[in-house]
Structure 1
């Protein structure tokens, strides 16, 4: 059974093609504004590769703590510069926000990307004291959920994780083996299950799964599976689809930002 359409978002969202350039424009404007204020530390390394870098956006004053946002794109697209504006909500509320890039499939496998994000979170944690909150969208939702696996983060960093918000996450990767994307993802049954958050023991850290009510049924299923497996809260955001469900992160007064930082 081919599940390619079930996991395709763009063909089922009106004017889908306008979203990436709008994200890039908003991100560039936000980066420029924070840079002019001396509150952007760009391209900090967490590894040796050219994409093993993160940007750190700083609030006006000592940070309340650290938020790390991990972008989506099915592990195959985008980089940290495309999403800078999503730091806006938490930064306005006094938090530092780190946005990492990572290597993309097929140049790397998913387990390798997971290790990269663990290194990025660890490096960002060394830059900012206080509690850490993780948020990620789609593939990024998968990656922040994976940070809660035992031993994934160093114990001192793991102890600082105060809240994790997988947004429209991919939580069981086995269905992706039945999509055309697997030509690049190169998942087999062993890695798909090993990298699936639903296969992990429920974490002790507070978790909120967030998903748009107007998303594809496959993503509603993926969110529900994680919420059920981890016995954690789930928010179904009315009127939101896969591309605009993340908009709240840019707004300091949105329900999403307030919930992430609560």
Structure 2
């Protein structure tokens, strides 16, 4: 099935277990070097944010992990805060419940609660970003929350039209029908008219490239395909403070709170 081939990234990248293991090591090392403040945004065990606050705060960001809404947690993504942290950006990295334990609509609600809790803690408009499923949550929050909470979005290898997933094996845990998939597709919601930059790996499937390109065009944003990077290595720029993608997110965070860029 063509859509299965296009959207099943673990099958497309046989080396993904080693990459995820590297994420876990790098994330643990970053947490050890910079122990996070833990914020509860709900009563559930996974309704927690690891907040990394630099000494001199110049902006705020929220980063959602991926895993097709059915795998991983915040402990896999701490290192994605490292580059922004060096630029004075306070970064929250939330966990959320997973399908099939909860429906996808509930995860979107949790993402909203996490964003509101982060905003209450920092008092700053933030840039929201996230990988894969987290890219979907990024766009959903842009559509649902006001600019004083979510000022800009940078989804990385995001999913913006969910209906193609309905006929794939990925939907076994999600349990979406066509109507639910459309209702939860950010691309079918009105554009909030805020800064949007979609990043995707240049070595990803045609469908992932199409979704990022088409969504950016639909919402009046920008997009880029990062050369040679697949659906897993696409996160490799974010721990690097001097990578152009990290610098772009930092500038958006500075602009959102009126700080002046030093780059």
Aligned residues between the structures: 251
| 1:16, distance to aligned residue in structure 2 (A) | 2.0
Gaps of 5+ in 2: 252-263
Q: 1:19 maps to which residue? A: 19
Q: Which residue, 48, 55, 77 being the options, matches 1:83?
A: 77
Residue 106 (structure 2) aligns with: 112
1:192 is the counterpart of 2:181: yes
Shift of 1:13: 2.5
Residues 72-122 of structure 1: per-residue CA shift (max 9 Å, x gap): 100000000111111101111001000000000001111110010000010
1:93 aligned to 61, 78, 87, which one?
87
TM-score (norm 2): 0.92
The 5 Å alignment of 1:188-227 reads: 188-227=177-216
Counterpart of 1:259 in structure 2 is: 248
**Unaligned runs of at least 5 residues, structure 1:** none
Q: How do residues 1-262 of structure 1 correspond to structure 2 at under 5 angstroms?
A: 3-13=3-13, 15-35=15-35, 40-42=36-38, 44-61=39-56, 63-149=57-143, 152-153=144-145, 155=146, 158-262=147-251
Distance in 2 (CA, whole Å) between partners of 1:186 and 1:12 is 22
Q: Matched residues in 1 for 2:6 and 2:80: separation?
A: 27
Distance 2:159 2:109 in 1: 17
> How far apart are the structure 2 equivalents of 1:189 and 1:172?
11
Query: Which whole-Å CA distance do the structure 1 matches of 2:181 and 2:10 have between them?
Result: 24
What secondary structure does 1:72 align onto? Answer: coil
* CA distance in structure 2 between the partners assigned to 1:251 and 1:4 by the alignment: 32
Check whether the contact 1:64–1:130 (CA below 8 A) recurs between aligned residues: no
Contact 2:124 2:148 survives alignment (8 Å): no
Q: TM-score, normalised by structure 1?
A: 0.92
**Partners of 2:68 and 2:125 in 1: how far apart?**
28
Superposition RMSD on alpha carbons, in Å? Answer: 1.3
